[in-house]
């Protein structure tokens, strides 16, 4: 799957493991390493439907206020939010990473 990042901080966190952005600067190291692993999972699948096969991600298409946003678990407390879009054939193969969210906050 093709991956893009919605902001430079998320890309920086993915590539270097750290960032100066206040939202992500204080994330525990194990969350950052799991974030990198989850992005690699997304990158490694051929299409969005393949995420259903990786049970630990708990892939979900959101409804309500977050309608149109896809989420996967980083762990039981943090979620990775992204937008997905199809290619010309209608197969979803693009993901735009937009946020790491602390669940229930």
Q: Summarize pLDDT for 73-99 with one digit per residue, the tens.
A: 999 999 999 999 888 777 888 999 999
Closest CA to 54 of 70, 75, 72, 27: 72
CB 82 within 8 A of CB 64: no
Whether domain 2-102 has CATH 3.40.1210.10: the reply is: no
What pLDDT is recorded for position 11?
A: 96
What pLDDT is recorded for position 105?
A: 60
**30: helix, coil or strand?**
helix
**49: helix, coil or strand?**
helix
Is this prediction's pTM over 0.85?
yes
What pLDDT is recorded for position 93?
A: 85
Q: What digits encode the pLDDT tens for the residues 31-89?
A: 999 999 999 999 999 888 899 999 999 999 999 999 999 999 999 999 999 999 888 77
């Amino acid at each position: 799957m093709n991956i893009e990042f919605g902001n430079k901080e998320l890309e920086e966190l993915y590539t270097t493991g750290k960032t100066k952005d206040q939202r992500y600067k204080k994330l525990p190291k194990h969350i950052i390493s799991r974030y990198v692993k989850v992005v690699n999972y997304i990158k490694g699948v051929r299409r969005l439907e393949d995420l259903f096969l990786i049970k630990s991600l708990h892939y979900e298409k959101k409804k309500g206020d977050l309608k149109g946003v896809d989420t996967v678990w980083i762990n039981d407390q943090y979620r990775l939010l992204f937008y997905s879009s199809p290619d010309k054939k209608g197969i979803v193969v693009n993901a735009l990473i937009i946020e790491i969210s602390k669940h229930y906050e």
